[in-house]
Amino acid sequence: MRASITVAGFLAVLMSTASAYRAPQARNNCLKTCLVPYGTNATRTIKTICRRACKVAAPLRRSCRKTTNTFWRNQTKVCRQSIRRIKQGLPPLTSLVSHTTPANASSDIPTVTQYTYEATCLKEIKFEWKDAKQTCREILCPDGQYWNVEADACVVNTFVNLSVLETSGALDPAFLRGFYKMSWKGTDPYQGPDDTNVGVTFTGRLPGDAQANIAPMTSDAINLLSYGGGNEFGAWSVAAVEAVGSESNLNEVISLKYDGIVIDAEEYASGQSVSVEQWNTMFAAIKAKNLMLIVTTSHFSPYGMSNGAALVADWLSNPNIDYISPQLYTSGTEPQNDWEGFSAAWTTASTPIAPSIVQASYYDQLAENSVTAYLPKAKGYLVWSNTPPPQPGPTPSCVSGYFPGSGCAYMCEWCAQQLQTDNYYWKSGVCTYQAGTGCVGSPQAGVEYTCCKTGSS
């Protein structure tokens, strides 16, 4: 039989009465323990939450036992009195009723009328009292563990979980749902999908540019500032890498209330090259400030970096990188994920992968083109498009798209999904259906093709 008053609820009562206690050393130990599950991923948001929680959490070990013993001694007294009343043919005390028959009580918790034997009532209280005492001992969990509210226990940390504190509204890295807010679309009210938990202010610029270090344009659980891009304004150099990782720049990022940084590594400035070691010096500086770090790149390797292969090899197993995000698009308007340059090395990466995709729906769009079809260990995605996806409505008569040489089988599946029918044709005749073979043809990569419902033109 489980508790009539949940451990979580019991702790909530204690937390509300513990604020009068102040013990600096205890708070320091609490903060250290609170941050253990997050490691280098402890963002400023998480640190703030831990500090607030520790103002009252540390003294709980002192107050918990006293409050626990007082509460359950009183319940024991109520139980004994109720047993005597039941034996006299009288109803039990109301306090016993309220604490033992909650509205959502499970079927194995005895009803009031079943408390006819002393053992029934007292054994239940004895069990709950013992459980509560154990809770008092485990309020601050050992190193490497965190308090799991659902499990009502300290749980070994096997993966950084930034949503342990339910009130934080912080990121759960089991699935990142990011969105790039383009700075040049500042007046556009669209803030990405409703379930976005990481917002990126994307400028395409580098420190020293007046448009680089701007205030956050997103207000999600975690908000990041990007540096770099695929043009001359975001082309990297040794000076740019050093500028991003400088003490003054990182302090400014923090002062702007960002929780981390996104590095968009696509090309070098003319005549420039940055070594793996120099990149890693910048990464280490970012993490030393407890900022979240995401590295994104064009497809699966920087198109304009001579040492791109060496960089990617390092990124795939770099402990300072929280996520690496290959961009599955070129123009950002593709109708499906573009896997150009994909290699098996990405399937064994130790760095968590969350690809950048055009729309959130592309994550599991068509089984053979879904993110998990290529990256089974993917930890989420970041959405590039600043245009809301089309709302459900009547299906069109014709649809057009550019395809990266994926073949007619994929193109026909895409067409059938878009038109919501198997009765269609390709205007150019690029793909046709053959009995026993399926959809066949020889489409060219990067060419726009149009398919229409049969009977339309």
Going by pLDDT thresholds of 50, 70 and 90, the confidence category of residue 142 is: low
Going by pLDDT thresholds of 50, 70 and 90, the confidence category of residue 208 is: very high
More confident residue, 63 or 334: 334
Could you tell me which residues come within 8 angstroms of residue 240 by beta carbon, excluding any fewer than 6 positions away? 206, 207, 227, 228, 269
Contact indicator for 324, 381 with CB cutoff of 8 Å: no
C-alpha span between 410 and 56 (Å, rounded): 58
Taking 70 as the threshold, does the pLDDT of residue 380 lie above it? yes
Q: Express each pLDDT in 23-33 by its tens digit.
A: 333 445 556 66
Please give the share of the chain, as a percent, with pLDDT higher than 90. 34
C-alpha span between 271 and 276 (Å, rounded): 17
Average pLDDT over residues 72-100: 64
For residue 29, give the nearest of 5, 1, 60, 8 by alpha carbon. 60
**pLDDT in the model for residue 117:** 45
Average pLDDT, the chain: 75
Phi/psi of residue 309, nearest 5 degrees:
-60, -40
Taken in order of first residue, the domains within the chain and their CATH numbers are 7-166 (no CATH), 172-383 (3.20.20.80), 398-453 (no CATH)
Q: Among 366-380, 397-411, 422-436, where is mean pLDDT lowest? A: 397-411
Count of beta carbons in the 10 Å neighbourhood of residue 212: 22
8-state DSSP, 448: E
C-alpha span between 308 and 320 (Å, rounded): 18
C-alpha span between 305 and 154 (Å, rounded): 46
**pLDDT in the model for residue 311:** 97
**pLDDT in the model for residue 323:** 94
Count of beta carbons in the 10 Å neighbourhood of residue 162: 24
Q: Express each pLDDT in 355-370 by its tens digit.
A: 999 988 888 876 677 8
For residue 45, give the nearest of 183, 216, 186 by alpha carbon. 216
**pLDDT in the model for residue 255:** 93
Among 104-113, 144-153, 219-228, 418-427, which range has the highest average pLDDT? 219-228
In the Cβ-directed half-sphere of 316, how many Cα atoms lie within 13 Å?
18
Average pLDDT over residues 331-348: 89
Contact indicator for 198, 222 with CB cutoff of 8 Å: yes
C-alpha span between 264 and 233 (Å, rounded): 12
Structure tokens at 15: 């937390």
Contact indicator for 194, 388 with CB cutoff of 8 Å: no
For residue 29, give the nearest of 54, 12, 62, 47 by alpha carbon. 54
Between strands 260-265 and 222-227, the pairing is parallel
Phi/psi of residue 126, nearest 5 degrees:
-60, -40
More confident residue, 164 or 212: 212
Query: Cα-Cα-Cα-Cα dihedral of 79, 84, 87, 89, to 10°?
Result: -90
C-alpha span between 121 and 81 (Å, rounded): 11
